[in-house]
Structure 1
Amino acid sequence: MTSTDLLIDAFGRVKESVQATVKGLDADALTYRPDEEANSIAWLIWHLTRVQDDHISEIIGAEQIWTSGGWAERFRLPLDLHDTGYGHTPEQVAAVKTDAETLAGYHDAVHAQTEDFVQSVKEPELARIVDENWDPPVTMAVRLVSVIEDGLQHVGQAAYVRGMYERGNA
């Protein structure tokens, strides 16, 4: 197995988990929050996808799928176009409302760009510095693993919130 194969598999696991987590959920389930300070499923999936979109687009020097694919218009969120959700207030979390198909569709589009990019990466390119704002500077490999880790954590949180919602509303 190559590094590319491993990365494709890991990003694929995030995608599969996103799909399974949002499948069949209505607006009430997607916006359910265990308390007023908690994140909703919609926010968690939107956020992990925004982070992946932002980071992959930056690495490849392309416009984010959020804007280039018309997703910002579909979501119609009262947020800055470049907002990824980092540091959101409870009110901003509550503002992320959409349907399961839109969440899954946006993630699918970002995943497709990610997979296309990762398939084109040659092993030596993974050592390229992509962010010098850290000590040590961040390589492409480290950034990709970070995006995977962030995605898996947030989709796990979303799946947990789904379970809470289903147990409380079954």
Structure 2
Amino acid sequence: MNTSEVLLDAFGRIQEVVHDVVDGLDDKTLSTRPEGTGNSIAWLVWHLTRIQDDHLADAGGYEQVITAEGWHDRLGLPFDAADTGYGHTGEQVAAVQLSAEQLTGYYDAVHARSLEYLKTLTDEDLDRIVDRRWNPPVTLGVRLISVLSDDLQHAGQAAYLQGLLANSN
């Protein structure tokens, strides 16, 4: 396997979990917050999608899918298009009321664009500095691992919550 193939496989696993969790759930289940204060499945999936969209577009030098393909308007959330959910309050988490179709539609669009970018990468690309605000500066390889880690953690949280909600009914 080469660099690109490893990354394609890793990001493909996120898509599998997103669909396994979201497909078939109704809007009420997607927006349910554990104990009324935790993150909902809808928020977790929206957030992991925003992180992937934001970070890969920045690293790849292309426009985010949320604006390039009109997803900001289609989702209709009360946030700026640049908002990724980082630091959201409970009220903002509760505002993420999205259907399974909206969540998987946006995720799949981001995933498709991510794959286009990832297919172009070589081993040498991973050493390119993409963020000088950190010490040491962040390379593309480190950024991609960060996105994978964040996305898989949130997808796992959503899967756990799906099971929790299924067992509480």
Q: Same fold (TM over 0.5)?
A: yes
Q: TM-score, normalised by structure 1?
A: 0.97
Partner of 1:130: helix, strand, or coil?
Answer: strand
Distance in 2 (CA, whole Å) between partners of 1:18 and 1:3 is: 23
Does the 8 A contact of 1:14 with 1:151 survive in 2?
Answer: yes
Compute the displacement of 1:62 (Å): 1.3
The CA deviation string for residues 32-58 of structure 1, in whole angstroms up to 9 with x for no partner, is 111232000000000000000000110
Q: RMSD of the TM alignment (CA)?
A: 0.7
Pairing of 1:115-154 with structure 2 (within 5 A): 115-154=115-154
Pairing of 1:73-152 with structure 2 (within 5 A): 73-152=73-152
Q: Which moved more, 1:85-94 or 1:29-38?
A: 29-38
Does the 8 A contact of 2:52 with 2:147 survive in 1?
Answer: yes
Which amino acid in 2 is paired with 1:98? L
Match of 1:156 in 2: 156
Partner of 1:120: helix, strand, or coil?
Answer: coil
Please identify runs of 4+ aligned residues in structure 1 that moved more than 4 A.
none
Work out whether 1:38 is the aligned partner of 2:33: no
Distance in 1 (CA, whole Å) between partners of 2:128 and 2:9 is: 21
Which amino acid in 1 is paired with 2:29? A
Match of 1:54 in 2: 54
Partner of 1:63: helix, strand, or coil?
Answer: coil
Compute the displacement of 1:81 (Å): 1.3
The runs of 5 or more residues in structure 2 that have no matched partner are: none
Does the 8 A contact of 1:36 with 1:90 survive in 2?
Answer: no
Distance in 1 (CA, whole Å) between partners of 2:137 and 2:2 is: 24
Which amino acid in 2 is paired with 1:104? T
Distance in 2 (CA, whole Å) between partners of 1:24 and 1:37 is: 24
Distance in 1 (CA, whole Å) between partners of 2:7 and 2:135 is: 24
Compute the displacement of 1:4 (Å): 1.2
Distance in 1 (CA, whole Å) between partners of 2:58 and 2:128 is: 13
Residues paired across the two proteins, number: 169
Distance in 1 (CA, whole Å) between partners of 2:67 and 2:8 is: 24
Compute the displacement of 1:122 (Å): 1.8
Distance in 1 (CA, whole Å) between partners of 2:60 and 2:125 is: 12
Match of 2:65 in 1: 65
Which amino acid in 1 is paired with 2:111? H
Q: TM-score, normalised by structure 2?
A: 0.98
